[in-house]
Amino acid sequence: MADLNKNLGTVSPDDLVIGTIPRVDYRGRTIRKLGTAGTIKRGTIMAKSSVDGKLVMLGSVAGSTSAEQKFNGDGTAKVFIVTAKPANITEVKVGGTASDDWTYDASTGKITFGTAPAAGTNNVVATYVASVEELIPDCIIADDVEVGTTADVKVAAYVSGNFNLNKCIVAEGYTITEADLDELRRKNIMFRKALPY
């Protein structure tokens, strides 16, 4: 006769998903490759990049892209105009060497030198920040995933549901904000505390 009362194993809930309203749903997402390989754990809240649409851990430092504009010095010109009119110029090089003999006016885009740079083709180079990435709270990772340094990784992520915020993970040293929670609520990701057993 078969033993129908045999214990075949146990399951311990992790209390990440703690409600049925809103309905738990998940989608495929792409995690951006890391600078140092590691494991991103189930329950990690991820943010989507405004630049490439890939995920990074909520609380990560946003990236930026640089741009430059080159000018031809003629030995007499002291003023050069950066057409993009960025808020700041991060560096100016003359003949390949960083210069500190200049001022910048963001309202006009004018770089003014104290002494005119020597004549040369593209010998004056102004570098500035072209765009800053925005990281928008987006989803919660559904399973542990290994992410390396050479390739992005496809993952399953919760895009709606009711979760225990105490079981969620963000970047070390980061505290989730009300603005983060509001953005996740707009995406139908809700949080509440789990009730004891």
**For 48-63, what is each residue's pLDDT tens digit?**
999 889 999 999 988 8
CA gap 185, 176 in Å, rounded: 13
For 67, 98, 106, the CA distances from 112, given in Å and listed in that order, are 19, 15, 12
pLDDT band at 19, cuts 50/70/90?
confident
Res 45: pLDDT: 96
DSSP state of 83: T
Domains of the chain: 17-61+133-191 (2.40.300.10), 64-132 (no CATH)
Whole-angstrom Cα distance, residue 66 to residue 127?
Answer: 7
Neighbours of 116 (CB within 10 A): 15
What string of H, E and C letters represents the secondary structure of 134-148? Answer: CEEEEEEECCCEEEC
pLDDT (tens digit, 9 = 90+) per residue, 89-126?
Answer: 999 999 999 999 999 999 999 999 999 999 999 999 99
Longest Cα–Cα distance of the chain, Å, equals 103
